[in-house]
Amino acid sequence: MNHWAELVELFEYKVTDLLEGRTPRGGRRSVAELREELLSAPLEPALLRRLMETDRLFRGGTNGRAPNLHRGRPAPQAHPVWEAPVTAASEEALAWDELQTLLWHHRATQRLQELAAHWQRDATLQRLRVLYAVVENAERAGTAQPVPVPEANDPLMDLHDPEVNQAIARALGTLLYTEAGRVQVRAALSQVQAEPFPRHPDEDVLAARIAAAEREPLSAEAKDALIRALKAEYPMPRDPRERSVIRVAAREVAEQLEPLLDSAPQRALGAVPHGSVLYAQHPTNAMRVPDDGADKLIIHLRGAQAAHWRGLDLRWQPIGPNWQLQVGGQVALLRPALGPLDRTQTLSLPGTHLRLFLSGAYLLLHVDSHAAAELGRRASLARAVSLLLDSQEAFAYLRLARAAAQLLRGGPLNLETLGPDSAQKYHAATPDVLLAFARKGVETLSARLERSDPAQAAGAFAEAAAHLGLHPLAAERLHGALHAALHRPEPLPDPRSGERFELSPGTFLSVQLGDDPLTLEAGGRAVTLRQDYKGELVVVLPGLAPMILHDLLVVRVPELHLLLVRHGSWLAATAGNDEVVPTLRLAASAEQPH
């Protein structure tokens, strides 16, 4: 079973209900049955420690005696304990706010660096010069004379150097982290637009000295030399014709920065979204399972020691006041005592980067990947999974995949376990269990194909098809779907906004998910997607039980299959009809003369 962590967490919640005098859902018998199941389960050490601790509380709550499972509802406590509601001052709410701000700051700094690199291509560097003045004036914030926009060829600025520009972008990003800094940046933007070249405070002194020099009883040549010497001690006034050009550049900079400033996260006001924190302190905030379709995950590190998310095995443990996190073969030391902007780390993973943001005992993981490519790979994976879920000819493609896997491993075919009778367990399985099995099969077989010679792999599929009575076309179709899932992401259009769309057979539609329910029309059926109270995306199709869409979902009804994949708020969907599974029997009957 792949959900031992969720079952251990469920056991903890049930035991907590018992100890606080409440009857858990399913009754007291469900607690004992779940306990017996977990005690015999192959749990990893971290989960086993959690189970033993909870089991100790469970047995201790009945003074060492097994609970009476036939007893009625327990009497209410004489002095019930009142639990204060979650407020904005709670540790969880404060950590939620800080993590959202840290993630936004990371994205904002990336955007600023992109803008700085783009503006550097401008020959006059007007917008970069404006950006420099904005940063300088925001950092000084009224404590000194405003800094004018530097001249185009100021040798002290060195704005042609990419490192200098990235340093300016990072400095601006640091200012944007706090509300006070954002206010200062807005004020500096307005100031530069109003007056790019503030009047120098010593201009009156220079004018007075020049006037005094002109009254001196000297020759014209001597007066000119004296006046030139006086002017050399003070900055020369800027060309007034440059003012209008700089103001245009300042407006362009403001147009790029204003949306960034407006997107800064606001405080949660005591309302951490339901189902948004894995292993949360408060049950209303607890996430049922990690959402593989999301690009970020928040974990309460004290609540457990392991999780599985987006194919990543995550393990952590306390090391004194710090936390040690292991992701695959990489280890990161998380230090809560550092400053906010120093509590960010990056782990390089195959094909992507994993950003780590820490706030106390709360960790935010963010996968920094290209959404279109990520969703395209997921769409290709969904097509292969859907093929394995085709129930025609006793799940012919699923049996073919198992047979090909046996041959690719170098072993002989066990035809007794691959015949049509072996598909009875697939017909009896629930849709979610069957989907998980098919997806695991595609991922495992794809990984084996990646290590195999293409010609050898094609031969294994053809041989497996022949033994199962399938036409070579069936082998080619399955091999091609697995190859696409491994190497060829599905090309997807840009996402559209709306509340109702019609799916075209075979072609993926891209939709930007919002707060309102989304309706997709496919083959005369209406499919509704909406957020439930736990923040999960629920798929509702008349005649079927509601289904949760994390990152991939294949729904099969008579004469129709529906493919749904998600990456964050980007949804891709398509529908279609199954093609007839080509078998040797059908091919032979087609060749016979009528």
For 209-243, the three-class secondary structure string (H helix, E strand, C coil) is: HHHHHHHCCCCHHHHHHHHHHHHHCCCCCCCCHHH
At 203, which amino acid appears? Answer: E
Q: What is the CA radius of gyration of the chain?
A: 33
| Strands of 75-121, DSSP E | none
pLDDT of 66: 38
Instruction: Please state, in angstroms and rounded to a whole number, the distance separating the CA atoms of residues 326 and 324.
Output: 7
pTM for this model (two decimals): 0.61
How far is Cα of residue 416 from the mean position of the Cα atoms in its chain? 44
How long, in residues, is the chain? Answer: 594
DSSP structure class, residue 152: T
Instruction: Please state, in angstroms and rounded to a whole number, the distance separating the CA atoms of residues 517 and 65.
Output: 50
HSE value, Cβ hemisphere, 13 Å, CA-based, for 294: 17
Residue in 345, 346, 361, 336 with CA at minimum distance from that of residue 278: 361
Host H or E run for residue 373: helix 371-388
pLDDT of 195: 78
Contacts of range 428-436, beta carbons closer than 8 Å, 24 or more positions apart = 431/544, 431/547, 431/555, 431/556, 432/547, 434/389, 435/385, 435/389, 435/553, 435/554, 436/2
Backbone angles phi, psi at 12, to 5 degrees: -60, -45
Strand order across the 525-531 sheet: 500-502, 518-522, 525-531, 537-540, 547-549
pLDDT of 382: 94
CA-CA-CA-CA torsion for 419, 423, 424, 430, nearest 10 degrees?
A: 170
Helix axes 472-487, 431-450, angle to 10 degrees: 80
pLDDT of 79: 40
Strand order across the 330-334 sheet: 306-309, 312-319, 322-327, 330-334
Strand order across the 296-300 sheet: 296-300, 362-368, 352-359, 344-349
Coil, helix or strand at residue 148: coil
Host H or E run for residue 146: none
Please spell the DSSP secondary structure of 395-421, one letter per residue: HHHHHHHHHHHHHHTTPPP-GGGTSGG
Q: Cα separations (Å) of 7 from 2, 11, 31, 186, 237?
A: 10, 6, 11, 51, 74
Query: In order along the chain (594 residues), what is the average pLDDT of each group of 10 residues?
Result: 73 81 74 78 74 77 42 38 50 90 92 88 84 88 74 70 87 91 90 74 61 74 71 61 82 90 76 86 85 88 91 91 90 93 88 88 88 87 94 92 90 84 88 90 89 88 92 92 90 89 90 89 87 81 87 86 89 89 73 58
- Residues 491, 376 contacting (CB under 8 angstroms): yes
Instruction: Please state, in angstroms and rounded to a whole number, the distance separating the CA atoms of residues 406 and 118.
Output: 53
Instruction: Retrieve residue 377's tokens.
Output: 């790979």
pLDDT of 568: 81
Instruction: Retrieve residue 471's tokens.
Output: 């036409």
